[in-house]
């Protein structure tokens, strides 16, 4: 591939529902432009962008991938994103470096939640957008219905540019609405008359398109009202403006699998989608945190954003980046602003699926990869030492689905933490939390399939086997009644004896940490035994008597005791304190506390009723019903966290993937009797198993 300057590069991110045909459409474009010699398939593992074993096994995309092709002296960087919701993090990475969006819609399944999510994302970024209605070859495909649904859902800026021509259930050609001409796939070189059966529909679509074009320019509007035809130049200018500012979102159609409709799509992309350099400038922060403006051209100092990293146990690290300004050259030194360190760039690659093609330079706006960087990670900015800049982080989704992971064997234990560290570096939508209280390592992910990918990656790439289970809920225990109890530890058989005797008052208090006081009269317990008594109690507080959970809200006062002239020792008082605790707790009206989370759910309003009903079943309390920043429904609730373990999956099925939520721990509250009973029983079972 030759070098492409900024003006000749188009970055196009493919978005849409899983299974709409994004990866196949890219393959089709690569095949059509001869970037690959065989048309690969996502279903048999031969596609260019779905090459990872996890993708091949599942028959869908799991990772964002890059595949450039050349068309009419332009380079189109196709960025494939996974439609499946678990891979939201990968989608965020790919989306962040796209300048234009190609939303693929299945002609047979129409507008789906993935289409809506894609549209929501591109609207937020005001990204120029084209729709491609795919699978028109399928007998159940219905282009006009899909167009009508798209317009109803996303408004009148969605405008059909073509109409498929079918014959005997086969897609044989398409009509260009603007030119009112038909092209047949048997011979794309000549335009023909529109078949009579399509004439009315063409007129209807033409009216919509002409009006949208007219709206881009006053002169065109005048012509439109005068019913004068637009010239080719006027059309081109109007389209360029309309597509760029989002007032026109062309709808194209075809069949990725039959390589139909690809040529016009490529034309549209190269002619009407803007290149990144057209932005003119991009803002970043300088090393003092002040805003700095960089020009998006080759003369500016180099800067780049790393949007994805792959840590290969054999090859080392591969860092994917977008050149935000200037030129990145091989055999150069760049500065990593976040890490405050120089990095050596030896080789630069243009990436096509799993293949890396060495190139000498990457120009402004281009996407590529570099290998073996020492400290650079995803979301780092690379730049020159002379012009230090920092770009905003790509925002990755907050994972909410927790799973406790543990190594299967001792051998796995040694390798697990290093392997997980690498996996976390690759996937910014994963988080690992080491919970000191439950002694668990909890991996948080977006969805269950993503967890499965992690388990497989550990097994296949790092040869580590792990167990997964639902994380423990961090219950707590407290007391409701003041009690006094004696603990007497006496060991006088053989050797040196041990003697400690304490009287301790336990009373409820507000402090999470135990408060320890002494109120000894007449020296019944010498001061030197206060610390071991306290230590004994503190150890007990870690595991309550009710169900083994941490005890909070207790004040303990050592108010009496006895000593032995020879046998009284620190260990004996520690043991005595423990006995006092054990004796006191059952009488102190112990209570189990459960964690309550503050939950915010965002989903289209039509789901509000279901979401609220579901919270009632989860013992939740609705705090507020309102709207989110995006104008969707927002429900705030407080729910026991034990009821939310699988909520990520359940909310998804309740809203067909349109809802999302965040939850934060808020406070502890006494658990109801039935919950306490269940937790206590479970604890007893576990204890019995251990013994």
Ligand X SMILES: Nc1nc2c(ncn2[C@@H]2O[C@H](COP(=O)(O)OP(=O)(O)OP(=O)(O)O)[C@@H](O)[C@H]2O)c(=O)[nH]1
Minimum distance from residue 71 beta carbon to ligand X (Å): 19
Q: Contact letters (x/-) for ligand X, 37-56, by CB under 6 A?
A: -----xx-------------
Chosen from ligand X, Mg ion, none, partner binding at 99 (C-beta under 5 to 8 Å by type): none
Could you say which residues in the range 291-350 bind ligand X, by CB under 6 A?
Answer: none
Q: Contact region for Mg ion (CB under 5 A) — 61-69, 170-178, 280-288, 552-560?
A: 61-69
Q: Does 449 bind Mg ion (CB under 5 A)?
A: no
| Cβ–Cβ under 8 Å, residues 566 and 497 | yes
Q: Contact region for ligand X (CB under 6 A) — 14-22, 122-130, 154-162, 273-281?
A: 14-22
Residues 296 and 305: their CA atoms lie apart, in Å, by 13
> Which contacts (CB < 8 Å, 24+ apart) does range 57-64 have?
58/449, 60/18, 60/19, 60/84, 61/18, 61/22, 61/23, 61/87, 62/87, 62/90, 62/453, 63/87, 63/90, 64/90, 64/91, 64/93, 64/94, 64/308
Residues 121 and 206: their CA atoms lie apart, in Å, by 28
Chosen from Mg ion, ligand X, none, partner binding at 256 (C-beta under 5 to 8 Å by type): ligand X
**Residue 134 burial (10 A CB sphere; 0-12, 13-18, 19+):** buried
| Cβ–Cβ under 8 Å, residues 183 and 261 | no
Report which DSSP code applies to 353: T
Q: Contact region for ligand X (CB under 6 A) — 249-257, 370-378, 524-532, 560-568?
A: 249-257
Residues 327 and 348: their CA atoms lie apart, in Å, by 11
Q: Contact letters (x/-) for ligand X, 343-382, by CB under 6 A?
A: ----------------------------------------
How remote is the C-alpha of 451 from its chain's centroid?
A: 12
Sheet with 483-491, edge to edge strand ranges:
483-491, 498-508, 554-562, 515-518
Residues 431 and 400: their CA atoms lie apart, in Å, by 9
Residues in binding contact with ligand X, number by CB under 6 A: 23
Q: Contact region for ligand X (CB under 6 A) — 125-133, 134-142, 488-496, 518-526?
A: 134-142
Minimum distance from residue 116 beta carbon to ligand X (Å): 15
Q: Does 106 bind Mg ion (CB under 5 A)?
A: no
Q: Taking Cα atoms as reference points, which of 378, 379, 364 lies closest to residue 282?
A: 364
Q: Does 450 bind ligand X (CB under 6 A)?
A: no
Q: Which is nearer to ligand X, 114 or 487 (CB)?
A: 114
Q: Which is nearer to ligand X, 114 or 238 (CB)?
A: 114
Minimum distance from residue 102 beta carbon to Mg ion (Å): 13
Q: Which is nearer to Mg ion, 23 or 378 (CB)?
A: 23
The DSSP line for 145-180 is HHHHHHHHHH-TTEEE-EEEEEETTEEEEEEETTTT
Minimum distance from residue 26 beta carbon to ligand X (Å): 8
Looking at 19, 164, 238, 595, which residue binds ligand X (CB under 6 A)? Answer: 19
Q: Does 61 bind Mg ion (CB under 5 A)?
A: yes
Q: Contact letters (x/-) for ligand X, 251-280, by CB under 6 A?
A: ----xxx-----------------------
Q: Which is nearer to ligand X, 24 or 379 (CB)?
A: 24
> Which contacts (CB < 8 Å, 24+ apart) does range 275-283 have?
275/6, 275/7, 275/8, 275/9, 275/10, 275/11, 275/99, 275/365, 276/6, 276/9, 276/11, 276/99, 276/322, 276/364, 276/365, 277/6, 277/7, 277/9, 277/364, 277/365, 278/7, 282/324, 282/325
Q: Which is nearer to ligand X, 138 or 208 (CB)?
A: 138
Residues 526 and 129: their CA atoms lie apart, in Å, by 80
The DSSP line for 208-237 is HHHHHHHTT-HHHHHHHHHTPPPPHHHHHH
Minimum distance from residue 82 beta carbon to Mg ion (Å): 6
Could you say which residues in the range 75-94 bind ligand X, by CB under 6 A?
Answer: 82-84
Q: Does 64 bind Mg ion (CB under 5 A)?
A: no
Looking at 23, 296, 336, 337, which residue binds Mg ion (CB under 5 A)? Answer: 23
**Nearest residue to ligand X, by Cβ distance, number only:** 83
Chosen from Mg ion, ligand X, none, partner binding at 135 (C-beta under 5 to 8 Å by type): ligand X
Q: Which is nearer to Mg ion, 595 or 657 (CB)?
A: 657
Chosen from ligand X, Mg ion, none, partner binding at 322 (C-beta under 5 to 8 Å by type): none
Q: Give me the phi and psi of 634, to 5 degrees please.
A: -130, 130
The residues that bridge with 232 in the sheet, in sequence order, are none
Minimum distance from residue 81 beta carbon to Mg ion (Å): 8
Minimum distance from residue 15 beta carbon to Mg ion (Å): 11
Question: CB atoms < 10 A from the CB of 438, how many?
Answer: 16
Q: Contact region for Mg ion (CB under 5 A) — 22-30, 110-118, 180-188, 299-307?
A: 22-30
Minimum distance from residue 261 beta carbon to ligand X (Å): 9
Q: Which is nearer to Mg ion, 59 or 670 (CB)?
A: 59
Q: Does 60 bind ligand X (CB under 6 A)?
A: yes
Q: Taking Cα atoms as reference points, which of 316, 329, 424 lies closest to residue 371?
A: 316
| Cβ–Cβ under 8 Å, residues 80 and 483 | no
Chosen from Mg ion, ligand X, none, partner binding at 137 (C-beta under 5 to 8 Å by type): ligand X
Q: Which is nearer to ligand X, 135 or 652 (CB)?
A: 135
Q: 154 CB contacts (<8 Å, ≥6 apart)?
A: 119, 249
Q: Which is nearer to ligand X, 135 or 322 (CB)?
A: 135
Looking at 77, 129, 134, 557, which residue binds ligand X (CB under 6 A)? Answer: 134
Residues 283 and 554: their CA atoms lie apart, in Å, by 54
Q: Does 20 bind ligand X (CB under 6 A)?
A: yes
Q: Which is nearer to ligand X, 40 or 471 (CB)?
A: 40
The residues that bridge with 593 in the sheet, in sequence order, are 476, 670
Question: CB atoms < 10 A from the CB of 222, how many?
Answer: 11
Residues 471 and 438: their CA atoms lie apart, in Å, by 9
Residues 101 and 268: their CA atoms lie apart, in Å, by 12
Chosen from ligand X, Mg ion, none, partner binding at 164 (C-beta under 5 to 8 Å by type): none
Report which DSSP code applies to 502: E
Residue 132, classed as helix, strand or coil, is strand
Chosen from ligand X, Mg ion, none, partner binding at 138 (C-beta under 5 to 8 Å by type): ligand X
Which residues in this chain contact Mg ion in the complex, by CB under 5 A?
22-23, 61
Which residues in this chain contact ligand X in the complex, by CB under 6 A?
16, 18-24, 42-43, 60-61, 82-84, 104, 134-135, 137-138, 255-257
């Amino acid at each position: 591939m030759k070098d492409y300057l900024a003006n000749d590069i188009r970055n196009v991110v493919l978005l849409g529902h899983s299974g709409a045909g994004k990866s196949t459409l890219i393959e089709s474009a690569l095949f059509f432009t001869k970037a690959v010699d065989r048309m690969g398939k996502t279903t048999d593992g031969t596609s260019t962008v779905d090459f990872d074993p996890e993708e091949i096994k599942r028959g869908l995309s799991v990772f964002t991938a890059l595949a450039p092709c050349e068309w009419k002296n332009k380079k189109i960087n196709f960025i494939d994103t996974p439609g499946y919701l678990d891979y939201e993090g990968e989608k965020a990475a790919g989306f962040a470096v796209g300048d234009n969006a190609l939303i693929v819609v299945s002609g047979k399944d129409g507008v789906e939640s993935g289409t809506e999510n894609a549209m929501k994302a591109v609207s937020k970024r005001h990204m120029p957008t084209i729709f491609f209605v795919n699978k028109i070859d399928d007998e159940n495909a219905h282009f006009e219905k899909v167009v009508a649904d798209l317009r109803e859902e996303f408004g009148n800026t969605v405008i059909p540019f073509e109409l498929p021509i079918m014959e005997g259930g086969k897609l044989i050609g398409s009509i260009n609405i603007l030119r009112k001409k038909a092209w047949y796939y048997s011979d794309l070189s000549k335009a023909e008359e529109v078949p009579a059966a399509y004439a009315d529909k063409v007129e209807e679509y033409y009216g919509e398109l002409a009006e949208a074009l007219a709206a881009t320019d006053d002169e065109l509007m005048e012509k439109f009202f005068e019913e004068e035809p637009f010239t080719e130049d006027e059309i081109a200018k109007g389209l360029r403006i309309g597509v760029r500012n989002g007032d026109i979102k062309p709808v194209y159609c075809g069949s990725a699998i039959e390589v139909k409709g690809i040529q016009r799509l490529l034309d549209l992309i190269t002619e009407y989608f803007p290149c990144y350099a057209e932005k003119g400038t991009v803002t970043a922060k300088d090393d003092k945190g002040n805003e700095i403006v960089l020009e998006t051209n080759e003369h500016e100092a180099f800067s780049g954003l790393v949007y994805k990293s792959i840590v290969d146990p054999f090859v080392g690290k591969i860092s994917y980046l977008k050149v935000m300004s200037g030129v990145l050259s091989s055999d150069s030194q760049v500065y990593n602003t976040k890490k405050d360190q120089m990095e050596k760039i030896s080789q630069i690659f243009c990436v096509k699926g799993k293949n890396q093609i060495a190139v000498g330079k990457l120009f402004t706006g281009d996407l590529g990869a570099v290998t073996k960087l020492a400290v650079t990670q995803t979301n780092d900015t690379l730049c020159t030492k002379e012009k230090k800049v920092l770009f905003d982080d790509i925002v990755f989704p907050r994972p909410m689905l927790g799973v406790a992971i543990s190594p299967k064997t001792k051998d796995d234990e040694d390798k697990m933490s290093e392997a997980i560290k690498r996996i976390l570096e690759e996937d910014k939508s994963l988080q690992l939390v080491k919970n000191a209280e439950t002694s668990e390592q909890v991996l948080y992910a977006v969805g269950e399939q993503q967890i499965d990918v992690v388990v497989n990656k550990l097994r296949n790439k790092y040869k580590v086997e792990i167990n997964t289970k639902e994380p423990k809920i961090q219950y707590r225990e407290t007391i409701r009644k003041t009690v006094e109890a004696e603990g007497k530890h006496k060991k006088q058989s053989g050797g040196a004896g041990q003697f400690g005797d304490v009287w301790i008052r336990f009373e409820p208090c507000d402090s999470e940490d135990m408060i320890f006081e002494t109120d000894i009269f007449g020296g019944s317990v010498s001061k030197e035994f206060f610390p071991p008594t306290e230590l004994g109690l503190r150890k007990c507080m870690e595991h309550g008597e009710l169900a083994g959970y941490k005890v909070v809200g207790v004040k303990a006062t050592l108010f009496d005791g006895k000593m032995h002239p020879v046998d009284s020792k620190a260990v004996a008082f520690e043991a005595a304190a423990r006995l006092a605790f054990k004796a006191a707790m059952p009488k102190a009206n112990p209570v189990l506390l459960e964690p309550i989370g503050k939950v915010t759910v965002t989903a289209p309003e039509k789901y509000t009723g279901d979401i609220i009903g579901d919270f009632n079943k989860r013992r939740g309390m609705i705090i507020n019903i309102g709207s989110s920043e995006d104008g969707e429904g927002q429900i705030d609730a407080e729910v026991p966290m034990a009821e939310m373990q699988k909520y990520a999956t359940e909310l998804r099925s309740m809203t067909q993937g349109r809802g999302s939520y965040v939850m934060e721990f808020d406070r502890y509250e006494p658990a109801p009797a039935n919950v306490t009973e269940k937790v206590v029983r479970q604890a007893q079972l576990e204890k019995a198993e251990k013994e």
